[in-house]
Amino acid sequence: MIRTYSLNSRLLFLTFFFTFSLNLFAQTDGEQIFKTNCISCHTIGGGRLIGPDLEGVTAKRNADWLKQWINSSSDFIASGDADAIAIFEEYNKVAMTSFYFEDEDMDALLAYMENPPIEEKEVATTTAENDKGMSSSTILLLIAVFLFLLVYILTSIKNKLKTQLNQPTETLSETIINQGKAFLAESRNVAIVGFAVFIIVMKFTFDTLMGVGVTTNYQPEQPIAFSHKIHAGDNGIDCNYCHSSARSSKTSGIPSANVCMNCHANITSGTNTGTAEIQKIYDAIGYDPDTRTYIEGYEQQPIKWVRIHNLPDFAYFNHSQHVTVGKLECQECHGPVQEMDVVKQESLMTMGWCINCHRETEVKMEGNDYYTSMHEKMKEKYAGQKITVDKMGGLECGKCHY
């Protein structure tokens, strides 16, 4: 009896385990099939894209109908199915790509579409930014206030002692003036004060001259309220999708309106701004979102984006050298743009800032086959050392100024 119960329990467990495993694998395979073949045109619960939103489609259509439509919508339309023809007409008579999935793959895809994983959205919380420390001017002000209070207290003590000794007292200003005269009566003290004043003036002049043309937190208003946080952060769009020339040229480039239209030909409403800001793209390029067609003969207008990061003409910087060869992330120089609704200049972009990066950044040798020979020589020369960019000529003047 006990053995029978134990055997039945094991069989029940194994049945449950294999069923769960098959469902899990089907879910995983279906998700992979969907993301590989369908996600560029369809969403599940994310609204209409190029094709319709597929949320609840397995409840609206039976499996046989969906299989025929997915495998070959053209053949299905030609067969005369009324619903297939209606969808074909609704989407400007553009037939969906034919896939001809195997039955197992099709079942896995439909199972995934019926029960897609629920994505947990992070709850945005607002926290007060911690004080990162006092500025130099604040520290100097506090020192000045402390010294003033110290002189005041010492003067008060001195006057009380003089009162008890029946001697004439002095005001705070008189004490400061008299003590100052007594201090400056000696030529040595005059020389010390003069030298200190000279150093302070020179430091102030040096800081002023070094600050010419150096800005941070420059955050101009753009002609279209484009949010990097929504595009690069929430939607996870790769920076190089829009700034495609960063991989292969000196400049990263400003995306043309055609790049915007790759998505916004069908996505007509923004997350935070509704249709107002996206309409500015349509006005620039000549696109009618209602009919989803370009206006024939329309004179297109450029979108006048405001440049944020701008190096002087005498400094040479190559994006491809850093992005493709150096394998740097955009955030290394531009800051956490995926968190910015309005992009600002995060870094100093000064020569000293670049040099410090070259001194600290290790050379990425894996995957850079073109430089194999040079890397092997560097490994021999700097055996046992951290090979940073400065060791391969990253501090040579001619690299950036020529």
Higher confidence at residue 305 or residue 175? 305
Task: Burial-class residue 309 by CB neighbours within 10 Å (0-12, 13-18, 19+).
Answer: middle
Q: What is the predicted pLDDT for the residue at 49?
A: 64
Residues 6+ apart with CB under 8 A from 222: 305, 306, 342
Q: Where residue 8 falls among pLDDT bands split at 50, 70, 90?
A: very low
Beta bridge partners of 288: 293
Mean pLDDT throughout 298-324? Answer: 92
Q: What is the predicted pLDDT for the residue at 138?
A: 64
Please tell me the distance from the alpha carbon of residue 17 to that of residue 27, in angstroms, as a whole number: 15
Mean pLDDT throughout 204-210? Answer: 82
Please tell me the distance from the alpha carbon of residue 375 to that of residue 377, in angstroms, as a whole number: 5
Q: Shortest CA distance to 312 belongs to which of 215, 207, 392?
A: 215
Q: Shortest CA distance to 311 belongs to which of 348, 263, 366, 273?
A: 348
Residue 294 falls in which region: left (phi positive, over 0), alpha (psi -120 to 50) or beta: beta
Q: Where residue 100 falls among pLDDT bands split at 50, 70, 90?
A: confident
Please tell me the distance from the alpha carbon of residue 267 to that of residue 272, in angstroms, as a whole number: 13
Please tell me the distance from the alpha carbon of residue 374 to that of residue 323, in angstroms, as a whole number: 19
- b/e map 10-49, b = 16+ CB within 10 Å: eeeeeeeeeeeeeeeebbebbbebbeebbeeebbbeeeeb
Q: What is the predicted pLDDT for the residue at 11?
A: 41
Mean pLDDT throughout 26-50? Answer: 70
Mean pLDDT throughout 261-282? Answer: 92
Kindly report the average pLDDT of the chain as a whole number.
80
Higher confidence at residue 112 or residue 331? 331
Pick the range with the lowest mean pLDDT from 62-66, 83-87, 159-163, 217-221.
159-163
Tell whether pTM > 0.85.
Answer: no
Mean pLDDT throughout 322-346? Answer: 93
Q: What is the predicted pLDDT for the residue at 223?
A: 95
Q: What is the predicted pLDDT for the residue at 40?
A: 60
Q: Which amino acid is at 12?
A: L
Q: What is the predicted pLDDT for the residue at 118?
A: 63
Higher confidence at residue 283 or residue 68? 283
Look-up of token digits 């620039």: 284
Residue 159 falls in which region: left (phi positive, over 0), alpha (psi -120 to 50) or beta: alpha
93 neighbors 68 (Cβ within 8 angstroms): no
- Helix, strand and coil content of the chain, in percent to the nearest 5, comes to 55, 0, 45
In the chain the domains, ranked by start, together with CATH numbers, are 2-114 (1.10.760.10), 136-210 (no CATH), 350-402 (no CATH)
Is the confidence at residue 144, as pLDDT, over 80? no
Please tell me the distance from the alpha carbon of residue 364 to that of residue 324, in angstroms, as a whole number: 10
Q: What is the predicted pLDDT for the residue at 162?
A: 72
Q: 10 Å Cβ neighbour count for 334?
A: 20
Mean pLDDT throughout 325-329? Answer: 91
Pick the range with the lowest mean pLDDT from 21-25, 175-179, 188-192, 256-260.
21-25
Is the confidence at residue 372, as pLDDT, over 50? yes
Q: What is the predicted pLDDT for the residue at 298?
A: 94
Residues 6+ apart with CB under 8 A from 255: 242, 243
